[in-house]
Amino acid sequence: MNLIVDVGNTRIKLAVFDKNRLLEIRIADSFTILETLKQLKLDYPKLNLAIVSSVGYLQDKVLQYLGLQFELTILDNNTKVPFTNLYATPKTLGIDRIALVCASVQQFSQKNVLIIDAGTCITYDFINKDNEYLGGAISPGVRMRYEALHNQTANLPLLETEMPIQIIGNSTIGSINSGIIYGVLNEIDGIIEQYSALYLDLTIILTGGDANFLSKQLKSSIFANSNFLLEGLNYILQHNTVE
């Protein structure tokens, strides 16, 4: 049984897979991670393999615990990957983006795929049908936009994420929600349109913490899959480790 540890900049996602079957996801942060891991080990005594992908903060004691309790793979920029990486700075490419491209190779091989991960940041990653990863884009995520407006002004409140009722915001709250949410939706639709002009047969995946919230409102036709990164990590784990 496999334990997947995805450390993002906002949340830590822990997933249990039995071969390719996702059994459960638990959410943690850097304060609760050790407790959550110990409980998972109790609940799933058959967990033996683990993989960590981190672009965020993970304490050494958590890594030590994982190393003691599991046969541990740590994904880094030297891990063998099943695609040709044409990023000009492969050593600085986000580990989460590498895992997303692995998931794409596994699930959509020989297709032009644009993966959009709406998490702390919104990342765009493109892999062509010749199995070459070309790169993409990084922009601020939904919560980051709310926080930036609040932190960098004197008068703007910090709001909860909320779908605006109309494009014309007729109050401060309405204007902020409209600016952020329609800003993100139009950014995503616009970027999809630009890629679609370059690649006629384009498969689009939307994932990350805001995927479900955003997917219903997008004009473009996309596959929304919140678990895409976890599936990619499980694939890497199964292909780098022999049980």
Ligand X SMILES: CC(C)(COP(=O)(O)O)[C@@H](O)C(=O)NCCC(=O)O
| 18 annotated active-site | no
Angle at 58 between CA 54 and CA 62, to 5 degrees: 120
Q: Please choose which of ligand ADP, ligand X, K ion, none residue 11 contacts, taking the beta carbon within 5 to 8 angstroms, the exact cut-off set by kind.
A: ligand ADP
Q: Please choose which of ligand X, K ion, ligand ADP, none residue 209 contacts, taking the beta carbon within 5 to 8 angstroms, the exact cut-off set by kind.
A: ligand ADP
**138 is a contact residue toward ligand X (CB under 6 A):** yes
Q: In the set 53, 54, 112, 123, which binds K ion (CB under 5 A)?
A: 123
**117 is a contact residue toward K ion (CB under 5 A):** yes
Q: Please choose which of K ion, ligand ADP, ligand X, none residue 97 contacts, taking the beta carbon within 5 to 8 angstroms, the exact cut-off set by kind.
A: ligand X
Q: Which of residues 82-141 bind ligand ADP (CB under 6 A)?
A: 119-120, 141
User: How many whole angstroms separate alpha carbon 139 and alpha carbon 120?
Assistant: 9
Residue 190: closest CA among 114, 130, 131, 134:
114
Task: List CB contacts of 86: < 8 A, sequence separation 6 or more.
Answer: 132, 133, 134, 135
Spell out, one character per residue from 72 to 101, where the chain touches ligand X: x when CB under 6 A holds, - when not. Answer: --------------------xxx-xx----
User: How many whole angstroms separate alpha carbon 136 and alpha carbon 184?
Assistant: 16
Contact in structure between 115 and 195 (CB atoms under 8 Å): no
Q: Where are the alpha helices (DSSP H) in the chain?
A: 33-43, 60-69, 95-107, 142-151, 172-177, 183-198, 211-215, 228-240
* Residue 73 in marked binding region: no
**231 is a contact residue toward K ion (CB under 5 A):** no
Grouping H, G, I as helix, E, B as strand and the rest as coil, residue 113 is strand
**Shortest reach from residue 210's CB to ligand X, in Å:** 10
**214 is a contact residue toward ligand X (CB under 6 A):** no
Catalytic residues: 96
Which positions lie near ligand X, rule CB under 6 A? 8-9, 55, 92-94, 96-97, 119-121, 123, 138
